[in-house]
Amino acid sequence: MGVSALLAALDEDESEVGQAVALLAAAGIENSDELGLGEGDRLLLELCRSVTGADLEIVAVCPACGQLSEAVVSPEAVPEATSRMVPLGKGGGLREPTYRDLRTLPANPEAALRQLLTRCVVGSPSRAPEPADLELVDDSLTGPIAIACTACGEPIAVDVDVQRAVLERLVRRAREIDQEVHLLASTYHWSLDEIEALGDERRRALAWLVAESR
């Protein structure tokens, strides 16, 4: 499947979770709805690399000197996904949420949290799950990372949400492809079918040549 066809999956759902599931399904991941969030985040990192040709980049402003610094989050730089479950007394426990668990939750945050906890219960535990238990089974790539400022060397704490960051990057790539198609259509008067038949690398190269010649 070409990049433009894969990115069309972004239009299948307006929600962040729905877009992640649709993209992974379009990339050939079976039962993507059943993936744990941690495994899904790591697959999204790989998808980001294959679609854009580069790893996810995180940019932050140094609070000490005000300069911009950049960190690269690659599939190799993050720990492998692990299946997590915390016991809830005897008879059962709490597992990591899947994409499906996050679907159709109530709009009220407190009600959504209660329902999510209920959905992730395994077995018949002797105690009810608590919000703190959810943190123990969270394997998603969300949270602070530390990078060093490239200008002054001071550490910078950056809050990263890999799912959101990857989706934003892929949305930008989809817009870039639209611009490439527009450039080729307006320059050579080719039809959309003719441009799509070029393939992703050829389309990108020709669009770059057109842009450089203007």
**Residue 184 has what pLDDT?**
95
- Whole-number pLDDT of residue 1: 63
For residue range 82-104, what is the model confidence (pLDDT) as tens digits?
Answer: 989 999 999 999 999 999 999 99
Supply the pLDDT for residue 158: 86
pLDDT at 146: 83
Helix runs in the chain, H state only? 3-7, 16-26, 37-52, 109-119, 131-136, 162-188, 192-196, 200-213
Phi and psi angles of residue 138, each rounded to the nearest 5 degrees, phi first:
-75, 115
- Predicted confidence at residue 123, as pLDDT, reads 97
Rounded to two decimals, the pTM is 0.88
Residues of the chain with pLDDT under 70: 1
Domain boundaries of the chain, sorted by first residue: 3-81+140-213, 85-136
Per-residue pLDDT at 145: 84
